[in-house]
Amino acid sequence: MRFRHGVEYNLYLSNQINAPEDSVHRVKRTSSYLLLVSCVFFAAAGSLRALGRLSQSKPQAEGNPPVSSSAGSGPLNFEFFKTKVQPIFLAKRPGHARCVACHAVNNSALHLEPLSPGSKTWNEEESRKNFESVQKVVVPGSLKSPLLIHPLAEQAGGDFFHGGGKHFNSQSDPEWQTLKSWVFGATLK
């Protein structure tokens, strides 16, 4: 269709925009979008509720009850973390970078404090910040805690996540056992 004047073109556009069929299609499309958004919202809400139930659940599989933290922040023990768990994040393993090399600079759920220049470990304040951060990837008493399954090889029960590779080939690995002990409420004796 050819138009000679802007007035005719504007009239054509207004007829096309206001056509009854377009209004019906617009309403249907909007309804579809609202339905989709509602479904996503309810799915997300359900996932958050399930996660909340997981984090509040008591350990049953291993029979190890959680023990209060000396830092007063729940069933995970700060002293065990500082003494036994943090050194795992600093350990060099063949074929892998140390955990701190990536987790001190990345923007993942597990964020470690960078080491101060010349330091071989963290000070008390940095350790407390690490403790708070690492708790975000732990469900106390659960073998499904991301801290346990992300760095564990899939054939040993891990998942496919963890861009830094699989640091532990077996659940018998002593360092993995230390992480598991902490997740299940271990304390220093």
| pLDDT given for residue 26 in this prediction | 62
> Which range has the worst mean pLDDT, 52-56, 103-107, 114-118?
52-56
How remote is the C-alpha of 161 from its chain's centroid? 10
Residues 147, 102, 111, CA angle at the centre, nearest 5°? 55
pLDDT confidence of residue 66:
39
pLDDT at 28: 62
Phi-psi region of 165 (alpha: psi -120 to 50; beta: other; left: phi over 0): left
Choice between 139 and 23, residue whose per-residue pLDDT is larger: 139
Predicted confidence band of residue 162 (pLDDT cuts 50, 70, 90) = confident
pLDDT, tens only, 53-93: 444 443 333 333 333 333 334 589 999 999 999 999 999 98
Structure tokens at 106: 């990345």
Rg, C-alpha atoms of the chain: 27
What is the residue whose two structure tokens read 């909007």? 30
* Predicted pLDDT of residue 80: 96
Query: Which has more pLDDT, 82 or 9?
Result: 82
pLDDT at residue number 32: 63
Backbone angles phi, psi at 57, to 5 degrees: -70, 155
At CA 56, angle to CA 53 and CA 61, rounded to 5? 95
Nearest Cα to Cα of residue 55 among 132, 131, 128, 142 = 142
pTM, full prediction? 0.60
pLDDT beyond 90 at 138: yes
Supply the pLDDT for residue 96. Answer: 85
